[in-house]
Amino acid sequence: MKRIPHYFLNVLFTLFLVFSLICTEMTLLVQRSALNVNMFHVVVQQEGLTDKAYDKLETYFKTRANSTGIPEAVFLRVVDKEMIYNGIMESVTQSFEYLNGNTSEYQFTMDFTEMEQSVTEFFEEYADVNGYQKDDIYQEKLTAVIEESEKEILFVVDNFKFTMLYEKGWLAKLRQVVGYLNVAVTVCLAVTIVLAVIIVFLNKKKMINIPYWLGLSAFTAGVLVSVPCFWVTHTNYFSGFVVTDPQIFSAVVGYLNLLVNRAFVMAVVTICIGIVGFGGFGALCLFQRTEE
């Protein structure tokens, strides 16, 4: 009769440990992957976001040349792929500076000095050739062209739309959550350790069972996380998202798929730890029988 409540306690705390492990994995996933600049760098590379942004700007300036008479080369000879990539990563960096509380507001801008110089030289040459006076109207048109171009570039380069998220107040809300993330990770790890110690204590008279219960916890937690990750990956779940802009679609879906893949890897590692626990339990049982 004494073994029944003892077994029940093992099962109970094993269940607690399973959910604690899942919470630990998820908080670590958010901390180490979801809110990590390197994560976005990988997405930019894998999804070819730099090329997509460049192609979009190239189309924009070519179309605009038909109405303004300003050749697209005036812009594209300075707005190259390196500049676009640096701009994409700068938008990500500035967003994390804000989320981590290092800046009071999100401010994304780029260095347009060379582009402004290129446009100014074109205007001056055009005015000199055609005999236009460089008066206030001339200056207004020059300023308008530069400002409109910079606005479009910033919009296209902001692949992950951090500016929109900031303006709608969503980044501010996420910033509040990020402030508690380190605490959440610490608490989850502490609870996991405490639960593991309790299981060890429950089996101190028969320590051979310890790797079994701990392995069962890890294996179950890994399976519960890996199954939905596997389903999402192999059904291309995120490809069904309705996003009209191909560039934004690639950024969002690429980010989510990479996040799921990393969660799946964490789950597989946890499953392997569980299998090691089962293996240890089996080896100890075999050794015990040999001794007998």
The upper half-sphere exposure of residue 280, i.e. CA atoms within 13 Å in the direction of its Cβ, equals: 16
Helix (H) or strand (E) holding 205: none
Three-class DSSP labels, 154-203: HHHHCCCCHHHHHHCCHHHHHHHHHCCHHHHHHHHHHHHHHHHHHHHHHC
Is 199 exposed, middle or buried, given 0-12, 13-18 or 19+ CB atoms closer than 10 A? buried
Q: What is the pLDDT of residues 89-110, one digit of tens each?
A: 999 999 999 999 899 999 899 9
Please say which residue of 137, 157, 177 terminates a domain. 177
The full length of the chain comes to 292
In terms of domains, do 66 and 170 share one? yes
More confidently predicted of 256 and 7: 256
Asked if the model's pLDDT at residue 1 lies above 50, the reply is: no
- The whole-number pLDDT of residue 116 equals 95
User: Distance between CA 211 and CA 190 in Å, rounded?
Assistant: 19
Q: What is the pLDDT of residues 33-57, one digit of tens each?
A: 999 999 999 999 999 999 999 999 9
DSSP-assigned letter for residue 103 = S
In terms of domains, do 72 and 144 share one? yes
Could you tell me if residue 242 is inside a domain? yes
**Both tokens of residue 230?**
């596997």
Across the chain, which distance is largest between two alpha carbons, in Å? Answer: 107
Asked if the model's pLDDT at residue 292 lies above 60, the reply is: no
Please say which residue of 146, 177, 208 terminates a domain. 177
Asked if the model's pLDDT at residue 287 lies above 50, the reply is: yes
In terms of domains, do 9 and 89 share one? no
- The whole-number pLDDT of residue 130 equals 85
**Both tokens of residue 55?**
């192609």
- The whole-number pLDDT of residue 244 equals 78
How large is the average pLDDT for residues 278-283? 89
- The whole-number pLDDT of residue 272 equals 97
In terms of domains, do 57 and 157 share one? yes
User: Distance between CA 159 and CA 284 in Å, rounded?
Assistant: 55
Among 91, 107, 238, CA closest to 83: 91
167 phi and psi angles, rounded to 5 deg? -65, -30
More confidently predicted of 162 and 241: 162
Range of 234's domain?
A: 3-38+183-291
In terms of domains, do 202 and 236 share one? yes
In terms of domains, do 162 and 56 share one? yes
Could you tell me if residue 88 is inside a domain? yes
- Global pTM reads 0.87
- The whole-number pLDDT of residue 5 equals 56
User: Is the dihedral angle over the CA atoms 34, 28, 103, 112 positive or is it negative?
Assistant: negative
Burial string for 206-222 (b: 16+ CB within 10 Å, else e) reads eeebbbbbbbbbbbbbb
- The whole-number pLDDT of residue 134 equals 84
Could you tell me if residue 44 is inside a domain? no
Could you tell me if residue 166 is inside a domain? yes
Q: What is the pLDDT of residues 264-274, one digit of tens each?
A: 999 999 999 99
Q: Are 29 and 269 in contact (CB under 8 A)?
A: no
Q: Are 192 and 265 in contact (CB under 8 A)?
A: no
In terms of domains, do 242 and 189 share one? yes
Is 292 exposed, middle or buried, given 0-12, 13-18 or 19+ CB atoms closer than 10 A? exposed
More confidently predicted of 122 and 133: 122
Q: Are 155 and 84 in contact (CB under 8 A)?
A: no
Three-class secondary structure of residue 245 per DSSP = coil
Could you tell me if residue 187 is inside a domain? yes
In terms of domains, do 111 and 165 share one? yes
> Total domain count for the chain?
2
User: Distance between CA 23 and CA 26 in Å, rounded?
Assistant: 5
pLDDT-derived band at 3, boundaries 50, 70, 90? low
Q: What is the pLDDT of residues 163-187, one digit of tens each?
A: 999 999 999 999 999 989 999 999 9
In terms of domains, do 221 and 207 share one? yes
Percent of the chain with pLDDT over 70: 97
Could you tell me if residue 43 is inside a domain? no
Could you tell me if residue 20 is inside a domain? yes
In terms of domains, do 170 and 265 share one? no
pLDDT-derived band at 197, boundaries 50, 70, 90? very high
User: Distance between CA 278 and CA 96 in Å, rounded?
Assistant: 42
Could you tell me if residue 231 is inside a domain? yes
In terms of domains, do 169 and 268 share one? no
Q: What is the pLDDT of residues 201-251, one digit of tens each?
A: 999 888 889 999 999 999 999 999 999 999 999 998 888 887 778 888 999
Q: Are 59 and 115 in contact (CB under 8 A)?
A: no
Please say which residue of 116, 148, 177 terminates a domain. 177
In terms of domains, do 217 and 137 share one? no
- The whole-number pLDDT of residue 75 equals 95
